[in-house]
Amino acid sequence: MHFFITGFMASGKTYWGRRVAEQCSLPFIDLDEACETTSGITIPEYFDRFGELAFRKLETEVLGKVASLNTPHVIACGGGTPCSLQNKASMMQHGYLILIQEETEIILQRLELQHAHRPLLATLNKQQLRERVIQLMDERKPCYSNYHFLFRPSSMEATTFVSFILNHV
């Protein structure tokens, strides 16, 4: 069974995924990196060339391959990955869904520094970024429901996250 880490963009999925995988001696996969490896181009380039719908199709294909691996992995998913019913069903079937829920202000601070590399936010100014992030968070609330474990980095110890995984390997 795999451990699929989901949450809004810039919530810390890759950071915490790598850290927890190392502490649990499990292999780690970043789904965005796997999509880039599969396509041979960066995600922003993929969005520019083919659009978001084509990227979501690629993401679903790569998720399917990763989910079929035989040994347990910690997998950091993209922020939009669980918004597809097919993806969510695949993750639930092949493992545990872990939601990282970071405070909105922390996410906004992170995105202000890195939004140029985020296809859905790249062209926005600071005010537009804030409005779009809050709108996306609201739209994606249903995508982040039905999880097995909720990790709130701002108010929980990482050992709680590690314990959950170790108890389910």
Q: Note whether 153 and 14 are within 8 A (CB).
A: no
Number of H helices, E strands in the chain: 8, 5
Cα–Cα distance for residue pair 59/31, rounded to 1 Å: 8
Where along the chain do its domains lie?
2-168
Can you give the pLDDT of all 169 residues of the chain as single tens digits? 999 999 999 999 999 999 999 999 999 999 999 999 999 999 999 999 999 999 999 999 999 999 999 999 999 999 999 999 999 999 999 999 999 999 999 999 999 888 777 877 888 888 998 999 999 999 999 999 999 999 998 887 888 888 888 888 7
pLDDT reported for residue 31: 98
Pick the CATH number of 2-168 from 3.40.50.300, 3.30.9.10, 3.40.640.10, 3.40.50.880: 3.40.50.300
Cα 40 to chain centroid, rounded: 20
